[in-house]
Amino acid sequence: MTKAGENERKFSLLFNAKSTGVSLLGKKRFVLDEVEITVDQSFEYEGNDYLVEIDSANMAKLLVGQYVLLNLLHTQKKPTYFLIIHTYKKYNPRRTIHNLNLVNQELLGGKGIPFGAIHIESLADWCGNMDALLKLFYVPNNQTLTALRTT
């Protein structure tokens, strides 16, 4: 199994251990003509869609491109959130938040898909369940998830 596959499996195990009745739905694919983008995992919670990307390397630039494409190709009308799970050792998710925030504000006029980022170690250390963690998304422009990185 590749490192990315191992990290996706680790996320699934953590999610399932901390979840109270929310099931992972697997990868999601978004296509327009010959352009395609996927996310590693997805789930629904309280009527909202969550698109999850597990970042197994230091790939902030790729995440920015993925975020732009998701905003262009995603067509569902229900509220959607983009959640990035970093696994790269000692990676600070604030870097991703700053990059995505710039794209959202400058390119998308602040109307992009809301997002959050957390390191997988912080997710493992999270004392609450997934429901409590996901409720952090309901605060507009909340960057609380970035503060959950352990050192």
Distance spanning both ends of the chain, measured CA to CA: 27
pLDDT per position as a tens digit, 33-68: 999 999 999 999 888 899 999 998 867 788 999 999
Residues 6 or more apart whose Cβ sits within 8 Å of residue 119: 85, 86, 87, 91, 92, 93, 148, 149, 150
| Distance in angstroms (rounded) separating the CA atoms of residues 101 and 84 | 13
Which pLDDT tens digit goes with each residue over 87-139? 988 788 888 888 999 999 999 999 999 888 888 888 888 877 777 777 765 55
Report whether CATH 3.30.60 matches the domain 3-148. Answer: no
Residue corresponding to tokens 């995505």:
100
Among the listed residues 91, 99, 100, 81, the one whose alpha carbon sits nearest the alpha carbon of residue 149 = 91
